Structure 1
Amino acid sequence: MPIEIGLAGWGDQDRLYGPGVKAKDKLREYAKHFPLVEVDSSFYAIQPKERFEKWTAETPDSLHFIVKAYQGMTGHQRGPAAAKEQETEAMFAAFRESIEPARQAGRLAAALFQYPPWFDCTRENVGILREARRLMDGVPCALEFRHQSWFLPEYREKTLAFMKAEGWIHSVCDEPQVGLGSVPTVLQATDSEMTMVRFHGRHAAGWNQSGAPNWRDVRYLYRYSGDELRDWKDMLQQLEQQSRRVCVVFNNNSGGDAADNAKEMMALLGLSRPDGGDPLEPKEEPKPPAYEQLDLF
């Protein structure tokens, strides 16, 4: 499937699941709706290898995983918590071992390296990206920036050429344009096999409030309109001409809008659910059990 659509995470997507679906069954249920899922728990802690073995064993082959790189690998930890040089290789090795079951099963779409807003376009940081790609050699890796300097006019083409030369998949963003801590939408593939697109919403007022309480909930609180999705339909088809596969992740989860927007986009593109259903078909509510008269007396 040239364009695949999914969500960032599956545990909190309550609109997908009927009442009574247990946490352990949610990923299996999720796989009926979408062919792609982003694993975000790996950003906070490198997951046990056994977890990926379980996830791949319990879901159909139609479901593919994008796994977010651990925060220590992308420089989100600073000060005393920052990894020393000798610890970096160990972190990367542990992460690679963690995701190996999904890779061996042919179910790993990519590892996603999202760098922090202070990771700007400097010679030192270019070197960090080269080293990260070396340590992930043989694994498809997507790169997402959060600092605008990488795509300023004087650096834009150099950044894209560097990503292409080093084997980075471009993670294209849709997000508010509110200064250096946000990047523009750049519709340019850097890998002929795959391009990523991540929808973060356009809540400009909440984007840079990282010090505020519940800032993550505020930041991704946004519902895309039909017109916005129709504009993106054309843009996704442009990217489809540049890469064999376009993997789309809706991350506007705060208000429960990601699943609805993802299904709307699937319908616009004429995509079916992995189970063959219409993405917009209403969820059937469970029917009460039917009792024969003899059961009651």
Structure 2
Amino acid sequence: MIQIGCTSFKEHTYLTGKKESSLFEYAAYFPLVEMDTSFYAIPKQTYVKEWLKQVPERFQFIMKLPKVFTKHEELTEGESLKELAQELLESVKPMIEQGNLFCLLAQFPPYFDCRRENVDYLRILRQLFPQIPMAVELRNNSWYDSTFLARTRAFMQEQKFSLVIVDEPKKLSTTIPFDSYVTNSSFVFFRFHGRNDIGWNATGPDAKRLRTNYRYSKEELEELQEAVAAVKDQSKQVAIIFNNNAGGDAAENALQFKDLLQLDFENLNPSQLGLF
């Protein structure tokens, strides 16, 4: 089964013509969403329950791990990863129980490189969430160096991580390659960030906006379609997230990709509410 969605549900003006769309409206177009709000804070369970009320029965959520789990910030005094992991699991418990949690996503920063300390940390992370499907996105290309690539893949398989297949700028020496290798037979996860070579390494308050400001061409989508087709039979489920949100292109590109793959999503929300 192939499912397509976008990062966040609010900012896709293309779908509704509105500056911000509701989750109910988003779920009329896609069966899957990546929630990045959880990167900044563990959501309250009341919010999770409200999200579930707005989506069809089989809708799937990818929840981004809070940044303290991915080395974007340090633990504060008195915190422990074990306690925070339990807090997160309690928060998303309704999703787990109802079958709406597709996976947790651990997106690591560029300075998380391939060395013993970080390999050991990934083992700890797996132990914190032993029963939950987990995807790992690496942004340091040392993991993909010819010296380590085979061991990186084998390690991800051993730990039952789905190593995210990432599309990002191609002309920079610091970016990671598009490595369409399946490390988990339960699910494959593609994330399409766009190919904005100039904006990818931007810093400052506009960095996020510049990094994902990209519109995929028809030719590029066809190239990505071939990659998806090549691996779709190696895993039970395929998740594809378009993260090129900054210029408002993600939703349109995602729908174009759906057409290329000749998919017909069932069990979506109605596109508009009737009068009666």
Structure 2: any 5+ residue segments left out of the alignment?
Answer: none
CA offset at residue 62 of structure 1?
Answer: 2.9
Taking the TM superposition and a 5 Å limit, the aligned residue runs for 1:99-110 are: 99-110=92-103
Deviation at 1:22, TM superposition (A): 7.5
Amino acid at match of 2:115: T
1:88-237 map, 5 Å: 88-177=81-170, 178-180=172-174, 182-210=175-203, 212-237=204-229
Runs of 4+ in 1 over 3 A off after TM superposition: 81-86, 273-277
Summarize the Cα distance change of 1:47–1:223 in structure 2 as closer, same or farther, 3 Å threshold: same
Distance 1:171 1:54 in 2: 28
Q: Identify which of 63, 70, 79 aligns with 1:67.
A: 63
For 2:67 and 2:51, the matched residues in 1 are separated by: 22
> What RMSD over aligned residues (CA atoms) do the two structures have, in Å?
2.2
Amino acid at match of 1:215: A
Identity in percent: 35
Which structure has more relative contact order (CA 8 Å, sep 6+)? It is 2
CA offset digits 1:86-105 (Å, max 9, x no partner): 61111111111111111111
The change in CA–CA distance for 1:129 and 1:225 in structure 2 (over 3 A counts) is: same
**Where do residues 277-296 of structure 1 align in structure 2 (5 Å cutoff)?**
none
- Which whole-Å CA distance do the structure 2 matches of 1:88 and 1:121 have between them? 21
Change (3 A) 1:111 1:138: same
Query: CA offsets per residue over residues 208-249 of structure 1, 9 Å max, x none?
Result: 112x34111001000000000001111001120211111000
- Tell me, yes or no, if the aligned pair for 2:30 and 2:268 is still in contact at 8 Å: no
Q: Deviations over 1:140-179 (max 9, x none)?
A: 0001001000011111110000000011012110001323
Aligned length: 272
SS in 2 for 1:204: coil
The Cα shift of 1:183 comes to 1.2
Q: Tell me: CA distance 1:85–1:245, structure 2 relative to 1, closer, same or farther (3 Å).
A: farther
1:266 to 1:22, Cα distance in 2 relative to 1, 3 A: closer
Match of 1:45 in 2: 41
Larger radius of gyration: 1
Q: Tell me the amino acid that sits aligned with residue 194 of structure 1.
A: F
Q: 2:263 aligns with which of 252, 262, 271?
A: 271
Structure-2-length-normalised TM-score: 0.93
Structure 1 residues without counterparts, runs of 5 or longer = 278-282, 290-297
Does structure 2 retain, via aligned residues, the 8 Å contact 1:75–1:82?
A: no
Separation (CA, whole Å) in 2 of partners of 1:225 and 1:183: 21
Q: Which moved more, 1:158-167 or 1:232-241?
A: 232-241
TM-score by length of 1: 0.87
Contact 2:31 2:268 in 1 (8 A): no
Look up the SS of the partner of 1:134 in the other structure: helix
